[in-house]
Amino acid sequence: MQLDRCLSGDAEPENPEITSMVMAANALRSTPAISESARSRAFDAMMREADRRARPQSSADHAEDLADPGIHTREAKAGPGMRLAVADIEGIDDARLEGIAASIAARLRQNAPDRNQ
């Protein structure tokens, strides 16, 4: 009796058994068929989106040069046998590169286990 009321929406399930039965009944409930007009509208919308994405962007939309991403990279020695690659959108001068390398090397020495003990 409670299951019938829960399935009709008049009551909430009171115990886990009824809840699982309601969930199973909802899973087995048939779904309404999709109409041909809805299917046609969805297909038209999908094709419009595909055409929009396939068209090249006009140059008025993007005035900036996207060929050069503006990424600067440099390499430095970070310790014995270690190389450090630094990438940034700002220019990396020698002083900044050496400061980053020294900071990384100090951090690696700090976290490295002492193997002589």
Write the pLDDT tens digit of every residue in 50-60.
Answer: 888 888 765 55
Establish if 86 belongs to a structural domain: yes
Question: Is the distance from CB of 97 to CB of 76 less than 8 angstroms?
Answer: yes
The total of structural domains in the chain comes to 1
45: its two tokens: 């919308």
The whole model's pTM is what?
A: 0.33
Locus of tokens 């990424």:
71
| Domain extent at residue 91 | 72-111
Establish if 93 belongs to a structural domain: yes
72: its two tokens: 């600067």
Give residue-wise pLDDT tens across range 6-42: 888 788 888 888 888 888 888 887 777 778 888 888 8
Establish if 116 belongs to a structural domain: no
Establish if 41 belongs to a structural domain: no
Establish if 33 belongs to a structural domain: no
Bin 79: left if φ > 0, else alpha if -120 < ψ < 50, else beta.
Answer: left
